[in-house]
A and B are shown apart, each in its own frame.
Chain A
Amino acid sequence: MKPFRYERATDAAHAVATVAAHPGAAFLGAGTNLVDHLKLGITAPDLLVDVSRLPLDEVAELDDGGLRVGANVRNADLAAHPAVRARYPVLSQALLSGASGQLRNLATTGGNLLQRTRCAYFQDPSTPCNKRDPGSGCAALEGWTRYHAILGASSHCVAVHPSDMAVAMAALDAVVVTLGPDGERRIPVTDFHRLPGDAPHRDTVLRHGELITAVELPGLPWAARSRYRKVRDRASYAFALVSVAVALDLEDDGRTVREARIALGGIAHKPWRAERAEQALRGLPATEESCRTAADAETADAHPLRDNAFKIPLVHNTLVAVVRDLVPETPGSSLEGAR
């Protein structure tokens, strides 16, 4: 590991000014992703500015019934927060399905959004990777692609974004609040992460020195009816093959979809907001059939790789399963069969 200097930020402005002035500097949250990368030789900053003790650690009420989550709120605390559990169960569940109890006790909201892909080739400096080393090529293209993207990828990169939390936030239309050298910015989380295109080394739209200070969850009363489901190779403590976040607003009949918010994980370079599926589901009864129609709409342009065509039916089945969990059983509901 290359030697580096360590500085503890005294306040947010100081952190921003220090990193912005220093091309080789990086912010340090809990370090559960960054320190791993220092050990693996994926990145080699020469200055770490520790922002983990800045007082950005509160979950505060917003006027619209939403919540403002400080960048330093720990994943475990956010998942257990009573308001999050009651109003945004999808977010609580997404957080709880990520990593392990002892990592969630450390991991911060800001760091989680900025964690980098777990693509095996990205994490192995002996293989080419355009994300780690721009222009070097992509070993995954001809490699083992079970975990890779089926939507939105490019010939430069097929890696997927690993965060569970961010998928739930994408479904909730959360907004990332940042402080940069030019002041504050508010970036919808759906615009925060980038598709790879020809610059996969840029994960997000953040500029060097721009600090995440908070994430705002807009008030959305019907998000109380929301769920996250993560499908993986073992029962727990593994990254998603496919994950599905859904919030549903039902008509008074308790069955017809008035509004749906759907986001998918494990299938693209960013948390994938499934607008086509939402559109397809609107106005239909929440049945297995309409879920399959919605999933069809979303995966119509999917480009599976050698090892991951299974993700298309998996998206279908997982969407059916999540909606089944969300819609109170009605006799004769065709979701019964999926149980």
Chain B
Amino acid sequence: METEIRLRVDGQEHEVAVDTRTTVLDALRERLGITSPKKGCDHGQCGSCTVLLDGRRATTCLALAVAHDGAEIVTAEGLGTDGELHPVQEAFVDHDALQCGYCTPGQVCSAVGVLREAAQGWPSVVTEVGAEGDIVLDQEEIAERMSGNLCRCGAYVNIVSAVAAAAEAEGAGR
């Protein structure tokens, strides 16, 4: 049962025929050859398949492609501009925030989402109740907000520093 759908991925339009059972992750990797989103657990548990889906970070392994016809997707590959790394990617490199790198594309997309969510004032479960305005992305906030991304190499300490540095750089740029 193939259906034709349209996906805009990293700025490029694609038309792709997918079986109704195809997930967004499989459509990207297997049909379009876009392999930066990784398949880790395939059950929503590890975060390695995270992309920015219509502007928000989202896991893609449990999302059916047919249900996301017309979606705008940005993967880790499409984050940079003109051959330059995205500031979050730079921060990951600067802070040595990876070992094998398998979880990294998902971590990076998630971190970009975290910065946007914090900039909009979205709370996390560790944000004090009643706190208003800017979210200060301290270590506790970053760890909580990034907890949907698991890293088998255990590179967490440096991932948290990378996200903190990116948050600080962004704050400075505002």
Contacts and interface: CB of A to CB of B under 8 A. Distances in A.
A235 B149 CA distance: 14
A48 B20 contact: yes
Interface string B40-58: 0011100100100100111
Contact of B21 (A30, A38, A40, A100): A38
B93 interface: no
A97 B148 CA distance: 12
Interface in B1-28: 1, 3, 19-21, 23
B113 interface: yes
B125 A93 contact: yes
A297 B144 CA distance: 34
Contact of A31 (B3, B53, B67, B123): B67
Interface stretch (A3-11, A178-186, A330-338): A3-11
Nearest to A77: B122
A105 interface: yes
Nearest to A236: B147
A102 B23 contact: no
Contacts of A39: 42-43
Contact of A99 (B3, B143, B148): B148
Contacts of A106: 53, 58-59, 62-63
A265 interface: no
Nearest to A2: B21
Contacts of B90: none
Which residue among B62, B121, B122 has the maximum number of chain A CB atoms within 10 Å of its CB?
B62
Nearest to A35: B62
Main secondary structure of the interface of B (DSSP, over half): loop
Nearest to B147: A236
Contact of B123 (A8, A36, A96, A237): A96
Interface string A59-94: 000000000000000001001100001100100110
Contacts of B43: 36, 39-40
Contacts of A236: 125, 143-144, 147
A80 B56 contact: no
A34 B116 CA distance: 28
B56 A6 contact: no
A172 interface: no
B123 A32 contact: no
Interface residues of B, number: 40
A35 B64 contact: yes
B113 A101 contact: yes
Nearest to B66: A6
B72 interface: no
Nearest to A85: B123
Interface string B56-92: 1111001110110000000000000000000000000
A97 B125 contact: yes
A35 B23 contact: yes
A1 interface: yes
Interface string A1-38: 10111101000000000000000000010111001101
Interface in B99-124: 110, 113-114, 117, 120-124
Contact of B120 (A28, A30, A38, A80): A80
A101 B21 contact: no
Contact of B50 (A85, A89, A102): A102
A102 B147 contact: no
A60 B20 CA distance: 34
A205 interface: no
B47 A96 contact: no
A169 to B, nearest CB: 17
Contacts of A50: 66-67
Given A6-B64, A35-B23, 14 more contacts: A30-B63, A31-B63, A32-B62, A36-B43, A36-B44, A76-B56, A80-B120, A85-B130, A101-B57, A102-B47, A102-B59, A106-B53, A106-B62, A235-B147
23 contacts: A1-B21, A3-B1, A6-B64, A28-B67, A31-B63, A38-B21, A39-B42, A50-B67, A80-B120, A85-B123, A89-B130, A92-B123, A92-B129, A101-B113, A101-B146, A102-B57, A102-B110, A102-B113, A102-B148, A103-B44, A227-B129, A230-B125, A236-B143
Interface of B: 1, 3, 19-21, 23, 42-44, 47, 50, 53, 56-59, 62-64, 66-67, 110, 113-114, 117, 120-125, 129-130, 143-149
